[in-house]
Amino acid sequence: MEKLIITAAICGAEVTKKNNPAVPYTIDEIVREAESACAAGASVIHLHVREDDGTPTQSRERFQECMDAIRKVCPEVILQPSTGGAVGMTDLERLQSTEVTPAPEFATLDCGTLNFGGDEIFVNTDNTIFNFAAVMKERGVKPELEVFDKGMIDIALRVDRKGLLLHPLHFDFVMGVQIAATVRDLAFMAGSVPPGSTWTAAGIGKSEFDMAAAAIIMGGHVRVGFEDNLYLEKGVLAASNGELVEKAVKIAKLLGREIASPAESRRILSISGARAAE
């Protein structure tokens, strides 16, 4: 079984310091959380950025500042900027995260519209998805295909048939928002992607470590972090993203799975030398 890639989603766009005081807003705080996650074993930093007051932004300049600052303390880490941004942002706003220099190796591509809780709807039309894929291909950025249910896998495969994705495909199964966070449903998602694809599981809230353990056993990879879950265990807020990564590492070791370094993660994900499907 391949070594385990751990992604740390260090801040997201929705959680705030009211939820957990350690949620990072400023560049220094974002660097602190990225460094804690890397030191604990994360190879990938999934990155949203905020203004200093916590307001989500997709500003190219803010991404550039944050990514440059993270690279100073974690030079080998894979930085994965979000193109999801926050609910209500325009397509042009969201794509700014891929306009940094150098272009990111890896970025997220959301593959469908979903109910994001309450009255919030995260809109991704077919045109948005195809356009984002085309822009990312042009910029040499490998997409992580963010899928929140089985139908979004099918949409991703339609995009792939247009020759717009880099192979092998890599999926992030976000469990517990639209599809249930159960082992049955995770197995269904994993069995629905093309042979040779890689995948990561992200369990939302209390399902984070259940999904992590299942993914580790099934040969997938793991995402943890404040974007998805703020608690180390029931009733105990995590003091850092590093604590959440440390817990994932402990689970992996108990289950006999080694942790991938950033260099090993690049090889597993085929980031270097990835090519478009013919």
Region 128-145: mean pLDDT is 96
What percent of the chain shows pLDDT beyond 70? 97
| 276 — pLDDT class (breaks 50, 70, 90) | very low
Strands 231-233 and 236-237: antiparallel
Over residues 228-246, the mean pLDDT reads: 98
Rounded to whole angstroms, the Cα distance separating 238 from 226 reads 8
Average pLDDT, the chain: 95
Q: Which two tokens stand for residue 189?
A: 């998602």
- How high is the pLDDT of residue 254? 98
* pTM to 2 decimal places: 0.96
Band of the pLDDT at 219, cuts 50, 70, 90? very high
pLDDT of res. 86: 82
According to CATH, what is the number of the domain 6-276? Answer: 3.20.20.70
Query: What per-residue confidence (pLDDT) applies to 83?
Result: 97
Q: Residue 105 CB: number of other CB atoms within 10 A?
A: 17
Beta-sheet strands, E only, within the chain: 6-9, 44-47, 49-50, 56-57, 78-81, 106-110, 114-115, 121-122, 142-147, 166-167, 170-175, 198-203, 221-224, 231-233, 236-237, 275-276
Tell me the mean pLDDT in the region 47-61.
97
For residue 119, report the phi and psi dihedrals to the nearest 5 degrees: -95, 5
Flag whether pLDDT at 277 surpasses 90: no
Sketch the domain layout of the chain as residue ranges.
Answer: 6-276
CB neighbour list of residue 83: distance below 8 Å, 6 or more residues apart: 94, 95, 97, 98, 107, 108, 109, 110, 132, 136
